[in-house]
Amino acid sequence: MKSQKTQLKLEEISMEDVELSIHSRIIGHVLYINKEDLVKTVLEDKRIVKADVEIAKLGESVRIIPVKDVIEPRVKMEGPGGVFPAFIGPVETVGSGVTRVLRNTAVVTTGRRIVGFQEGIVDMSGPGAEYTPFSKTLNIVVVADPIEGLEAHAHEEALRVAGLKVAAKIGELAREVKPDSVKTYEFEFPSKRKMDLPRIVIILQALAQGLLHDTYLYGMDCKNLLPTLLNPLELADGAVVSGNCVSGCDKNTTYHHMNNPLVEECFKRHGKELDFAGVIVSPSKVALKDKELCAYYGDKIAQMLGADGAIITEEGFGNPEADMMMHARNLERMGIKTLLIGDEFAGPEGEAEPLADSTPEADLWISTGNANEIIELPPMERVIGDDRTLEVIAGGRKKLDGTLVTEIQAIIGATNGLGYTKLRCVGI
């Protein structure tokens, strides 16, 4: 088979501030946005009756709740397709050409009515800010309220699409701005065997359970898909989009998919320490036979690629651990070494059984933290969204002084299964 090399350049513009303005534009390293223009874009969807846009910055006494998704603004400059294919861009394979990125910025979606009970929190200051990467980004927060009686799945879709539309619209502002830096990535598919280097694949488990636990690949609900092999560069253009209302701590937002840290690390080591062979998106479904089918099918792809090792990532907790163990068992029996990455739910003191499933073959696990740990979040001067959901998310409760006592599972990205977190294990 002839080897095909794909190249993607990420042209990065480092933003230092964001402000509301009469005109949307970028001057220097400051992003100016017209609120009314963005609100008009959101209200194009008649399922949304009211919308607003607010700004949240590092160090401010601000709480964003309930957080639905986080998206990084980008725009396709050259090459096939566009960002967020099938949602914003055309249905065309992405991951090549030139994409321009507004670094340090994020579009965050929320509303004054919760979509599912497992939404999340982003605090821009205080102890909670230490647990989420999105306390460090310049956040353009889209507050969208649905029409009365809107069914939950339609509500989720309306918020999901609104966030993508706003991120793409802001990304368009980067077209006329000179980038600060350029990162160039190259991927051969199938990759040529490097000398004495282990061939590694990433098995990206994607929630596909229904009940608002959904992920989209090129606009297709992963519930309807078998495991799919991707060029890793497709992720950077938004080929995978979050539709999840899973616990905030281990939700893979769209931002996480676009900035997958494991993909970044594999590219850094490609040709030096390892031979990076691709990403297999493996849906985590509900029925046992569907789990078994996806595990066997995804593992077959890894075997056909000639993989020596597989990194298996978790999204969510509990049920998806059965999928992880099936992958580990199958792959190890094929002679493919496995590394599993995910969080634990080990009780507030860390003394409970941390995982819902296990297998002897899964003997290498990287923990991204115990999501049951308790944290106290002080009241904030400004709340974007709806703080009435505080006591719904992750079983939180309020003290008389307004302090929220909750598990860190309520915080967006706190124990992210891709390793996009500051938490780590320390031997004692």
Positions marked catalytic: 245
Report the C-alpha dihedral over residues 331, 333, 337, 340, rounded to 10 degrees: 50
Which amino acid type is present at position 270?
H
CB of 75 closer than 8 Å to CB of 140: no
Q: Look-up: residue for tokens 């001067």?
A: 381
Dihedral of alpha carbons 159, 132, 327, 338, sign: positive
CB of 207 closer than 8 Å to CB of 251: no
The packing angle between helices 35-42 and 152-171, to 10°, is: 140
The packing angle between helices 288-304 and 320-333, to 10°, is: 40
As a whole number of angstroms, the distance between CA 422 and CA 408 comes to 13
Rg value, the chain, Cα = 21
CB of 66 closer than 8 Å to CB of 132: no
